[in-house]
Amino acid sequence: MAPNDEIELGIIHRDAATHGALHHGSTADITDTHAGVSDLEHEFSLPPVDRGKAAWSFLGAAFVVEVLVWGYPWSYGLFQDYYSTHLPFAGSRNIPVIGACAMGLMYLAAPLVFGMLHRYPQTKQACVMIGPIIMALALGLGSLSETVPQLIVTQGVLYAVGGSLIYSPTVQFMDEWFVERKGLAFGVLCAGTGLGGVVIPFLLQFLLDKYGFRTTLRVWAVIIFVATAPLIVFVKPRVPTAQAYAVRHFNFSFVKTPTFLCLQAGNILQGLGFFVPNIYLPTYASQLGASSSISALTIILFNIASVFGCIAMGNLVDRCHVTTCILISTVGSTLSVFLLWGFSTSIAPLLCFCLAYGIFAGSFSSTWPGIMVRLKREESRTDGSMVFATLAAGRGIGNVLSGPLSEALVRAGEVGREGLYATEYGPLVLFTGVSAALGGLGFFGRRLGWV
């Protein structure tokens, strides 16, 4: 067992003034030495953190949850391309809002869902089981839709509800299983999104081309339901619920600190433009004359690159200051947007952009564990999972706004005379690049003494 991991998780504490011994928190006081020793022995019977079969089995199951929950929203660009060119949705407005709701609401709802699970921890295992059912139901109902608003409610909002219910307890369990290697663990978890975005688009594109969106949604609903069933055995807490949460205090004081405000501001600003390329890459590739498979490849390459980027960044966060990691992500993603995407008038540079953007921008969320650790050092009572939830909500603001913002930007007209800047996509490139650059606010905040 790693040193101080119980303190890190808030499971046990030292009450030197009254007991002078380590013990489990409970609603009743421990008044004799024998009871304290029994509790301590039980604590050391728990599975170890950061290592061992149980921890790695949990991480593997959490990785699959990430693939299934986030793989579809990250592949939504394929649906947008399909809906925009096929009846009954061709010519409809607000098609980008569907994907923005599916992903953005999962981000935005994180503080609410995490808070609910913190208040009622006994419901976590039930949420792990109920979430996939709601996700499958949402896609099944979406397959019956005839209008874009119906797709927004089902494929967007309802899917986000189900995804939040299974994903939120998984993240909270992660904070129990990994302490010293938290960055690497969360990097592996985030890489699940990338892997899902590699495999899932192939399947979705094949189904969309051959059977249409109705069959595609129904098939994916069945896959989600069947694939998540065996994960319930492994997606579980390290510490029994009653013991783990009896003394975990719900503390939001970290949101007032200069460190959090600065890092969250950069997180929100980066999120405003981060999702824009993923929405329009397949559509733009099609306009360049690419086949449907090459159009799908734009998303696949982005997600392949983000797998490696997330794992590398997660490992780096465990070793370096978090603002250094943020700077690396910021510089790489900003240059890739302005230089590669901005001047991609053929397929080759566009695919190069997908790789570079996936490595650098796709790994930005893997810096969150570094922010969690940084805030816990400033205030030991800080709950790491709630830091994660508020950062996710910050990114959700950008995700939800990216749909309507991107539609407005496309109608704004060109902003330059060369490359993509001379097309309707020029404002998108400019907006995404500026947003990526502002994501580095945390690095400059450190130089000013705010972080």
Residues 38 and 71 in one domain: no
- Reported as a single tens digit per residue, the pLDDT across 180-232 is 888 889 999 988 888 887 888 788 888 998 999 999 999 999 999 999 888 88
Average pLDDT for residues 66-77, to the nearest whole number? Answer: 85
Q: At 247, which helix (H) or strand (E)? A: none
Q: Is the dihedral of CA 309, 312, 318, 323 positive or negative?
A: negative
Amino acid 13: pLDDT: 37
Q: How far apart are CA 451 and CA 449, in angstroms?
A: 6
Q: How many CA atoms lie within 13 A of 256 on its CB side?
A: 4
Residues 141 and 233 in one domain: yes
Amino acid 336: pLDDT: 96
> What is the pTM (predicted TM-score) of this model?
0.79
Residues 100 and 180 in one domain: yes
Average pLDDT for residues 46-68, to the nearest whole number? Answer: 89
- Alpha-helix residue ranges (DSSP H) falling in 181-257: 182-211, 213-228, 241-244
How much of the chain, in percent, has pLDDT values that exceed 70? 88
Residues 12 and 92 in one domain: no
Going by pLDDT thresholds of 50, 70 and 90, the confidence category of residue 4 is: very low
Q: How far apart are CA 415 and CA 426, in angstroms?
A: 6
Q: How far apart are CA 247 and CA 258, in angstroms?
A: 27
Going by pLDDT thresholds of 50, 70 and 90, the confidence category of residue 367 is: very high
Residues 13 and 64 in one domain: no
Average pLDDT for residues 438-449, to the nearest whole number? Answer: 91
Q: How far apart are CA 105 and CA 400, in angstroms?
A: 7
**CATH number for the domain harbouring residue 62:** 1.20.1250.20
Residues 172 and 311 in one domain: yes
Indicate the range of 10-24, 74-88, 174-188 predicted with least confidence. Answer: 10-24
Going by pLDDT thresholds of 50, 70 and 90, the confidence category of residue 242 is: low
The mean predicted confidence, pLDDT, of the chain is 83
Residues 229 and 302 in one domain: yes
Q: Is the dihedral of CA 403, 405, 408, 410 positive or negative?
A: negative
- Reported as a single tens digit per residue, the pLDDT across 133-163 is 999 999 999 999 989 999 999 999 999 999 9
Residues 337 and 262 in one domain: yes
Residues 13 and 133 in one domain: no
Higher pLDDT, residue 433 or 240 = 433
Residues 34 and 56 in one domain: no
Which residues are paired to 14 by β-bridges? Answer: 22
pLDDT greater than 50 at residue 381: yes
Going by pLDDT thresholds of 50, 70 and 90, the confidence category of residue 248 is: low
Going by pLDDT thresholds of 50, 70 and 90, the confidence category of residue 250 is: low
Q: What letter represents residue 319's amino acid?
A: R
Going by pLDDT thresholds of 50, 70 and 90, the confidence category of residue 414 is: confident
pLDDT greater than 70 at residue 3: no
Indicate the range of 132-146, 213-227, 253-267, 370-384 predicted with least confidence. Answer: 370-384
pLDDT greater than 70 at residue 5: no
Amino acid 31: pLDDT: 34
Range of the domain at 23: 5-43
- Reported as a single tens digit per residue, the pLDDT across 278-308 is 778 888 898 888 887 888 788 889 988 998 9
Amino acid 249: pLDDT: 54
Higher pLDDT, residue 273 or 279 = 273
User: Do the Cβ atoms of 156 and 105 come closer than 8 Å?
Assistant: yes
pLDDT greater than 80 at residue 171: yes
pLDDT greater than 50 at residue 19: no
Q: At 312, which helix (H) or strand (E)? A: helix 292-317
DSSP code, position 157: I
Nearby residues of 196 by Cβ (< 8 Å), 6 or more positions away: 66, 67, 68, 70, 71, 72, 74, 75, 303
Amino acid 443: pLDDT: 93
Average pLDDT for residues 55-70, to the nearest whole number? Answer: 92
Amino acid 203: pLDDT: 87
Number of domains in the chain: 2
Which residues are paired to 13 by β-bridges? Answer: 23
Residues 108 and 245 in one domain: yes
Residues 260 and 122 in one domain: yes
